[in-house]
Amino acid sequence: MSKVTAKYQVTIPINVRKELNISPGMEVDIAKEGQKYVLVVDPIAALRNKWRGKFKNRTTTMAYLDEVRGEVD
């Protein structure tokens, strides 16, 4: 069991760190799922994976924005 310090820091147990491949400097997030809170390792990577391939057939982000917004005068 982990204990909260005076600075509200929590130590992640070694078995959890190993299983999730957490190393110093990695970013983690805490998200609420129903009545529980879960630790999300590298939330930026999760976002990248969610959006990966969405712009596959477009040459640039600007081309996509032009397509979505319509022609701007």
- Would you place residue 71 in the very low, low, confident or very high pLDDT band (cuts 50, 70, 90)? low
Beta strands (DSSP E) in the chain are 28-33, 36-41
Burial annotation 22-38 (CB, 10 A radius, 16+ → b, else e): beeeeeeeeeeeeeeee
Output 2 or 34, whichever has higher pLDDT: 34
Q: Where are the domains of the chain?
A: 14-69
Q: Residue 73 above 60 pLDDT? A: no
With bands split at pLDDT 50, 70 and 90, how would you rate the model's confidence at 62?
A: confident
Alpha-carbon span 65 to 67, nearest angstrom: 5
- Which tokens go with 17? 């760190």
Cα angle: 12, vertex 49, 24; to 5 degrees: 25
Q: What is the mean pLDDT of the chain?
A: 81
